[in-house]
Amino acid sequence: MTATVDDVVAVADSHRSELLAYCYRMTGSLHDAEDLVQEIQVRAWKAAKSYDPQRASIRTWLYRIATNVCLTALASAERRVLPVDLAEPNPVVGPGRLPPAREIHWLEPFPDAMLGDGDPAAVVAARESVRLAFVAALQHLPPLQRAVLILRDVLALRAAEVAGLLDTTTAAVNSALQRAHAQLPGIDAGPGELADAEQREWLARYVEAFETMDIDALKRILREDALLQMPPFVAWFHGRDPVTAFLAGVFARGEGFRMVPVRANGRPALAAYVRTDGEIYQAANLHVLTLDHDGIARMDLFHDPDLFRLFDLPAWL
């Protein structure tokens, strides 16, 4: 039976969250992913009458369209990166402002709210598969290998299904997956999810340290090997002392902060607002935090106020 345009549109819309996450894993950019999903939905609508349910499910058919759209976009795109991909840790800890490198194509954060609210186990799995470390590692793969790894390991499509949507053989899919695994050995899975109470405690202490600009309080909750990076700034810091020495210079400016809790990339996150005039606070950056039982392991601060709109956050407090 041939699917109607309404059938395809309805199914495509129901899969929008997972298609968005797929495009994000492929490109490392939330902005690009949103644009690509729009194109996928338009192509699906135009091709609705050609869909054959005897050949593939609508979901697999949509991933065929999505993969073609992503591979075309990536053919002329620069790889998305984080500061750790570009340089050694920065030894400079002075209070001077760092120059931004906005010409670089930076990896962007992804709001957990955009992962949908379906089956709880599926949502948890989706959160793990958009971890910053994993998405950053994917960007080192050639686009085709990237697609095969995501389709097989993350979305759990069968090798034959992936071969069908890529117009290739099962053997070629298995070979591409093997090469992808060889290039991504030992990706740090990161700490497991902390109990809610423990997570709330670490976050509360982090918020208090920033809002009171208390560098000693911050030192007490950072792991000794804590990492801080802040796209679009190339400089990054590794180790509790370099991290806090840099942030001491930031706190010394006396601007004042307000922190709003969100979630990003399967991790707790905070939207930081900086005081500009009196009690007016302006959107500044998003803190994506990696926590474990010993404290804050990693701080990824994304200095792009335009991201606040995508996280459904106000520009001002």
Q: Are residues 156 and 290 in the same domain?
A: no
Question: Last residue of some domain: 183, 217, 238?
Answer: 183
Whether 54 is covered by a domain: the verdict is: yes
Judged against a pLDDT cut of 70, whether residue 193 lies above it is answered with no
Mean pLDDT of the chain: 89
Judged against a pLDDT cut of 90, whether residue 73 lies above it is answered with yes
pLDDT at 94: 60
Segment 222-256, tens digit of pLDDT? 999 999 999 999 999 999 999 999 999 999 887 89
Whether 219 is covered by a domain: the verdict is: yes
Q: Name the more confident of 118 and 143.
A: 143
CATH of the domain at 50: 1.20.140
Q: Are residues 133 and 227 in the same domain?
A: no
Judged against a pLDDT cut of 60, whether residue 191 lies above it is answered with no
Q: What is the arithmetic mean of pLDDT over 256-261?
A: 95
Confidence tier at 188 by pLDDT (50, 70, 90) = low
Judged against a pLDDT cut of 90, whether residue 120 lies above it is answered with no
Q: What is the largest CA-CA distance in the chain?
A: 68
Q: Are residues 221 and 149 in the same domain?
A: no
Q: Name the more confident of 288 and 55.
A: 288
Segment 76-87, tens digit of pLDDT? 999 999 999 998
For residue 194 the two structure tokens come to: 């902390």
Confidence tier at 107 by pLDDT (50, 70, 90) = very high
Domain extent, residue 216, equals 196-310
> CA 198, 237, 223: angle at the middle one, nearest 5?
25
Q: Are residues 55 and 151 in the same domain?
A: yes
Distance in angstroms (rounded) separating the CA atoms of residues 188 and 218: 25
Q: Are residues 158 and 202 in the same domain?
A: no
Judged against a pLDDT cut of 70, whether residue 96 lies above it is answered with no
Q: Are residues 172 and 280 in the same domain?
A: no
Using alpha carbons, list the distances in angstroms from residue 274 to 236, 260, 284, 317.
Answer: 21, 12, 6, 9
Q: What is the crossing angle of helices 5-14 and 58-74, to 10°?
A: 70
Q: Are residues 231 and 284 in the same domain?
A: yes
Question: Which of helix, strand or coil describes residue 63?
Answer: helix
Whether 87 is covered by a domain: the verdict is: no
Judged against a pLDDT cut of 60, whether residue 1 lies above it is answered with no
Q: Are residues 61 and 206 in the same domain?
A: no
pLDDT at 204: 95
**Residues 6+ away with beta carbon under 8 Å from 140:** 79, 183, 184
Judged against a pLDDT cut of 80, whether residue 5 lies above it is answered with no
Total domain count, the chain: 2
Q: Kindly report whether the global pTM for this prediction surpasses the value 0.85.
A: yes
Whether 178 is covered by a domain: the verdict is: yes
pLDDT at 198: 85
Whether 114 is covered by a domain: the verdict is: no
